[in-house]
Structure formats: structure tokens, C-alpha cells
Structure 1
Amino acid sequence: MARKKGRDISGWLVVDKPAGVTSTMVVNKVRWALDAKKAGHAGTLDPAATGVLAVALGEATKTVPYITDALKCYCFTVRLGAATNTDDAEGEVIATSDIRPADDAIAAALPAFTGEIMQVPPQFSAVKVDGERAYALARAGEEMDLAARPLWVESLTLIARPDPDTVELEMVCGKGGYVRSIARDLGAKLGCLGHVLCLRRVWSGPFDAEDGISMEEIERLARTPDLEAHLLPLEVGLADLPEVKATPEGAVRLKNGNPGMVFASEAEWGEEAWASFQGQPVAVGIYKSGELHPSRVFNL
């Protein structure tokens, strides 16, 4: 069997993704630049979107679900007066309107999009329909009746109104949110139509765009220790879970996939937590009666 190429390197690299590249392209560039055996990202950004794309390497890929499930913040601009087939500026205009609501009307409409809402994904999205991606069917000219999905929206705020045609908004939401759907549905509610003009993910869980490295810098520092110095430790991806300390014997048992003794700090019985030993993450699991029952084990 051929051996998989690349180094066993673990951690997180926070990339400030530019417009015009896919999330997969970013991951592939990071994997190449660090000569990493394994890499993945925590939450796709559309090619036209910019901002935080957290790339997990090696054992950190086991913590991706915790970042995917975390809250995220988006700043985006909605173009009023036009709907597109993609719900963003990349698509074709399919309807227009001369209506331009006042700022007060826009602000009054936003609460309807907060809390637990049901959201229909865009026609051009990665949602699967009978085993095929919706965007592939949409490109073939098919119109789909996509099912609405639940989304938690922590907040949706009017930031600015640069001109009558555009509105700048900030949204904090949970997993699976489509900003393009928010723009589309807000435009429909206001009677003026709308689509996303530009979109930036400001932060995702513990990762911030201001701390991200650019693609140009990744290219410049590729295959050097200076790029590796930008890596964040695996456990940053576990920031939302309480930490417990494993005993020496407990650490051995946990590494073998068995329940191991730990000293609890903030973890409560039945709660998911992560265990460390001598400063290194060992496992993630459920804390019960002085033991962690592992669901994921880290081989560092």
C-alpha cells in the first residue's frame, strides 16, 4: 500500500480568505505550504466571500465539529431593489423593484430574522437533492422546492445605510446559516427584493479574521518554520468545552480508547469535556463520576 505523503503536523491555521477562491483551494494551499498529511476546514465560505476560514491540520481535524457548531459573525451588504438567481451579486437579475424602504422599516423587519428561525437554502447551494448538489441542478436549469431548515440567529443588526440601494448588516448565527437567504428573505419581507453584494466572516468560534494570515503570506512563507509559527494548538478548537486533567493512569487508558480517571474542574456529570495530561490534549468525551468516557482520542 502506498504511503500517504506529507508530515504528521497538528494544529489550526486561521486564514483570512480573499474573494475569488474556494474554501477547498485554501485548504489545498495550506496543506501544500505546510507539507501536511491531513487538513480540512471548519465551515465553507462561498468563493466571493472573504474572512475567517479556519484550517485544521492533523489531529486538529477531530475538533472541526466544535468549530462548525460554534457561533459565527458575518458582516454583509445587501443590494436592495433586485433579486438574483443565486441570491448574490454573482448571479443573474431575475426581478427588480423601485421600492426603497426607510431605515426605520428595515430595522423593524430585522427581529423577525432572529432567534430560532426556519430558513430555505438558496437554489445555488451545496444542499443535496436526491443525491445531487442543488447548485448542479440549478445550473442545469432546474427549480427546486428546497425544505426549510432551522437556524439560530443570535443577532441581526443594521450597521449602516450608505445609500438608498444598499444596507450593511451584521449577523451572529449558529451552524448552517445562509447569509444569502437572509438577504433574499429580508428583501421579500420589505417588498423591495434584495441580494448579497459582499460578505465577510468576521469571526468563527475562537478564531478572528484580524488574526488570520493572507494567501499571499502563506505563499511567501511556504515550507518554512515561519509559517509553522502561525499555527495555533489543537485545543483552541475545544475552547467551548470544559477541560479536565487526566491522572497518569487515566491518560494511558484514555489514549487506548477506554474510560480514564480525571480531575474535574468546571465539568458537570454527563457533560462533554476534553482531557489533558502534562499540557497535551488527550481525548474528548463525556465526564461521569471522576472518569472521562472518550469519543475522540488524540494521537499526538
Structure 2
Amino acid sequence: MSLNQQKSKKRAISGWIVLNKPYDMTSTQAVGKVRWLFSAAKAGHAGTLDPLATGILPIALGEATKAVPQVQDGTKVYRFAIAWGSATSTDDTEGEVVAASDVRPDQGALEAVLPRFTGTIMQRPPAFSALKVDGERAYDLARAGETVQLAERPIEVEAIRLVSHGPEQSVLEVTCGKGTYVRALARDIAEALGTRGHVASLHRAAVGPFTDENCVTIEQLEATEAGPERDALIAPVSLGLADLPEIRLDAGQAGAVAHGNTILLTGAGAPVAMDECWVSFKGKVLASGSVEFGQFKPRRVFNL
């Protein structure tokens, strides 16, 4: 085998790299970098993070890509700064200023309005978003100069709190569900306070079971010697399913599930119904799926 062939050989490696994505890097670029560092045959990410945002970008390698939907559906935590006094075309620092206001909300007014942005609320996504309008990405239409008005849609905001407050900028933390646009949240909070505002900085602190506490940086990965030492930074595939119930199987059940078969769950504590769960054998992920009438039905089988 030639040196070039050795360099291009990809590995069937599986697990998660919980990346603290740096500023000014796209999610696609981050995945490409991690895939190259590990010579991984397959890689993907669980939830796009804007280039101007930092924080948790779960990168799935190999069989972990089968758990991406579960992670994407997980709860997210964001810390963000609202710059008061100006609205931009992109609702962040990348866009042009499109409106301005001299109003600067005080801390009391800001804290008083936050409860209006918790629970199930209606939100209009930013014009510069990846949502599609008549088959085209909204941001492509917006960049082409077209007026984009996206329809409001319901989102879930579990909690929102004020971290720090200043006359020109305030920092908040929000815990929210899938599909929430923090840029739109900042825009709407400012408008509710009779002023204008945009996101000055954004950091994702958690995605489902992944948090700042178990993340690594590109610099850490690059500084760690390739091989077993760098591979030790890969989290197990099961971590991506940690927010779902786990059912442990015996050898006979495991063999059937490995071939994609439905199995009857036995034992006094066996569940009768579950919308979503995963099954394991001796600590290894076998499949994710559901339980109906006491039977586990696999949706995705993991070949680990």
C-alpha cells in the first residue's frame, strides 16, 4: 500500500466528539475537520450552529449518526447577549442596521417581560435562516434582496433568566426546545420593551445530554497524538441516547434485535408501551425504537 493510500484510508470508528465549536467556523467545516482528524469513514452533526456562534456541536462518528435525530430533539441551553438600540437584517452582528432606538431598558423592565417568553410561544423565524420558502432557503432569498416573511410557529421555552445587565448590552440564558431561534428571541424581547436589539454573542451550552462540561476544542484534538490517545476523547455512542429509557436484553433477545426483529419483553418490570427508547446488551447499544403491547420494535439497528 502506498503512502497516499495509507493517508486516505478511512476508519469505521463510532462515537461522539462533543465539540466546542469556535467562532467564525461553520458546522460543516467543523465536521470536516473532526472527520479528518480521526480519519473517520462517516461523520455528521446533531444540530447546526451558526458560524458566529460558539459552543456545543455534537459530532457523530460512524454508527453514532443513527442517534442524531434523538440528540437534535433534545433540550438546548443558550447564553446570549442582546445589544440594545439597533435591529439588524440578520438579527445578529453580521447584518446591516435596519432600525434604531434611543430606548435602553432598565433591569426591572427586562426581568418583568421575560415571563412572556416562557412556555409555548409563537415565534417568527429570522429571514436569514435555513428554513425553506417555495423550495428555496430563506437566507438565499434574503441575500438576493427579496423580502422574506416567514410564518410564526410554536416553540417551547422552558426557562429564561437574566445573567447580567448593562445599559448597552444584557446577557441571558435560555433553556428551550427544538426549532427555537435565539436571534428571533432577542429581537422580540427588545421590541416588547419598546426598543430594538440584536444578538451580539451566542454560546450553546448544552444539547440534550451533551454539555460544556464534556466538550473538547479543535485545539485540544490537534494537540493530542493521533491513535489511542486521541481516540480516548471519543464519547460512547450510548451517550447520545442518555435522555431516553434504556432496556437491557438477554443474549437471545439481543440476537433477534441485531437482525432487526421485533421481540417480546419479558419480566415483571417489562414496559408495555414507550414512544421512544433504546435496548442494550452488556453495555452495548443494539437499537433504538419503541415498545407497543409489550414488544420492542427496532427503528434503527446499531452495528457496533
Task: Report the TM-score when normalising by structure 2.
Answer: 0.93
Cα 1:25–1:297, aligned 2, differ >3 Å: closer, same or farther?
same
Query: What secondary structure, in the 3-state scheme, does the structure 1 residue paired with 2:145 have?
Result: coil
Deviation of the 1:289 alpha carbon: 4.9
- Residue 171 (structure 2) pairs with residue 142 (structure 1): no
Contact 2:271 2:294 (C-alpha < 8 Å) held by counterparts: no
Query: What per-residue deviation string (whole Å, max 9, x for no partner) do you get for residues 2-34 of structure 1?
Result: xx9621111011111110100111101111111
- Distance (whole Å) between structure 2 residues aligned to residue 299 and residue 69 of structure 1: 23
1:276 aligns with one of 274, 280, 287: 280
Q: What's 1:210 paired with? A: 213
Task: Give the whole-Å Cα distance in 1 for the aligned partners of 2:20 and 2:203.
Answer: 10
In 1, the alpha carbon distance for the partners of 2:224 and 2:162 equals 39
Tell me the secondary structure at the aligned position of residue 14 of structure 1: strand
CA contact (8 A) 1:86 1:92 kept: yes
Q: 1:139-191 CA distances to partner (integer Å, 9 max, x unpaired)?
A: 11111120112210000111111x21111100000001110000111111111
Structure 1 Cα separation of the partners of residues 221 and 269 of structure 2: 38
1:193 aligns with 2:207: no
Partner of 1:51: 55
- Cα 1:280–1:92 change in 2 (3 A) is same
The 2-side partners of 1:90 and 1:288 are apart by: 49
C-alpha change, 1:37 and 1:266, in structure 2 (3 Å) is farther
Distance in 1, matches of 2:269 and 2:104, equals: 51
Question: How many angstroms does 1:66 deviate by?
Answer: 1.1
Among 15, 34, 46, which residue is 2:19 paired with? 15
Task: In structure 1, give the amino acid aligned to 2:183.
Answer: R
Note the C-alpha offset of 1:222: 6.4
Select 2:100's aligned residue among 81, 90, 96.
96
Distance 1:267 1:234, change over 3 A: farther
The equivalent position to 1:87 in structure 2, one of 87, 91, 106, is 91
Deviates more, 1:280-289 or 1:24-33: 280-289
CA spacing shift, 1:291–1:264, aligned 2, 3 Å? farther
Partners of 1:67 and 1:273 in 2: CA distance: 13
CA distance in 1, matches of 2:271, 2:154: 28
- 1:166 corresponding residue in structure 2: 169
User: Any stretches of 5+ residues in structure 1 without a counterpart?
Assistant: none
Residue 266 of structure 1: how far off its partner (Å): 7.1
Q: 1:266 to 1:209 in 2, by over 3 A?
A: farther
Cα distance, 1:245 vs. partner?
A: 1.4
Look up the match of 2:4: none
What amino acid maps onto 2:30 in structure 1?
A: V
Counterpart of 1:253 in structure 2 is 256
1:109 corresponds, among 104, 109, 113, to 113
Whether contact under 8 Å (2:91, 2:183) holds in the other structure is: yes
Q: Which runs of 5+ in 2 are unaligned?
A: 1-7
CA separation in 2, counterparts of 1:164 and 1:279?
52
2:245 matched to 1:242?
Answer: yes
Q: Give the TM-score taking structure 1 as reference length.
A: 0.94
> Is residue 33 from structure 1 mapped to residue 5 from structure 2 by the alignment?
no
> When the two structures are aligned, how many residues end up with a matched partner?
296
Q: Is the 8 A contact 1:268 1:287 kept in 2?
A: yes
How big is the alpha-carbon RMSD for the aligned residues of Structure 1 and Structure 2?
Answer: 1.7
Aligned-pair CA distance for 1:92 = 0.6
CA distance in 1, matches of 2:210, 2:156: 20
d(CA) in 2 for partners of 1:53 and 1:107? Answer: 30
For residue 267 of structure 1, report the CA deviation from its aligned partner: 6.5
| Structure-1 separation of matches of 2:169 and 2:115 | 19
Determine the C-alpha separation between the residues in 2 that align with 1:268 and 1:94.
55
TM-superposed deviation, 1:116: 0.5
In 1, Cα distance between equivalents of 2:22 and 2:291: 41
Whether contact under 8 Å (2:74, 2:207) holds in the other structure is yes
Report SS of the residue matched to 1:252: helix
Using the alignment, how far apart are the partners of 1:267 and 1:180 within structure 2?
A: 44
CA pair 286-191 structure 1, distance change in 2 beyond 3 A:
same
